[in-house]
Amino acid sequence: SCPVNAITAGDNTLKFLRDLATPNKIVITQMAPAIRVTVGEAFGFEPGDNVENKLAAGLRKLGVDYVFDTTWAADLTIMEEAAELQDRLERYFSGDKTVKLPILTSCCPAWVKFIEQNHADMLDVPSSAKSPMQMFATVAKDLWAKEKGFARNQVTSVAIMPCTAKKYEASRPEFSRGLNYDVDYVITTKELIKIFEDTGINLKEIEGQEIDQVLGEYTGAGIIFGRTGGVIEAATRTAVEKMTGKKVDNIEFECLRGWEGFRTCELEVGDLKLRIGVAHGLREAGKMLDKIRSGEEFFHAIEIMACTGGCIGGGGQPKARNKKEALEKRAEGLNDIDRSKELRRSNENPEVLAIYDKYLDYPLSHKAHELLHTRYFARIKK
Residues designated catalytic: 81, 84, 107, 127, 166, 169, 174, 311
Nearer to ligand SF4, 86 or 106 (CB): 106
Q: Which residue in 306, 247, 280, 272 sits closest to 109, CA to CA?
A: 306
What is the DSSP secondary structure assignment for residue 347, as one 8-state letter? G
* ∠ Cα 299 242 359 (to 5°): 110
Q: Residue 166 or 344: which CB sits closer to ligand SF4?
A: 166
Q: Measured from the CB of residue 347, what is the shortest distance to ligand SF4 in angstroms? A: 23
Cβ nearer to ligand SF4, comparing 277 with 314: 314
Which residues of the chain form contacts with ligand SF4 (CB under 6 A)? 108, 110, 162-163, 165-166, 305-307, 310-311, 314
Ramachandran assignment for 48, one of left (phi > 0), alpha (psi -120 to 50 degrees), beta (any other)? left
- In the complex, minimum distance from the CB of residue 175 to ligand SF4, in angstroms, rounded to a whole number: 15
Q: Is 161 helix (H, G, I), strand (E, B) or coil?
A: strand
Residue 309 CB, shortest distance to ligand SF4, in Å, is: 8
Closer to ligand SF4 by CB, 126 or 310: give it: 310
Nearest approach, Cβ of 226 to ligand SF4 (angstroms)? 8
Distance, CA of 179 to CA of 177 (rounded, Å): 6
Closest CA to 167 of 240, 229, 86, 113: 113
Looking at residue 246, what DSSP letter applies? S
Q: Closer to ligand SF4 at the Cβ: 34 or 211?
A: 34
> Strand pairing partners for 160?
31, 187
- Name the minimum Å distance from CB 165 to ligand SF4: 4
What torsion, rounded to 10 degrees, do the Cα atoms 86, 87, 89, 90 define?
A: 100
Distance CA 369, CA 223 (A): 24
Residue closest to ligand SF4 when measured from CB atoms: 314
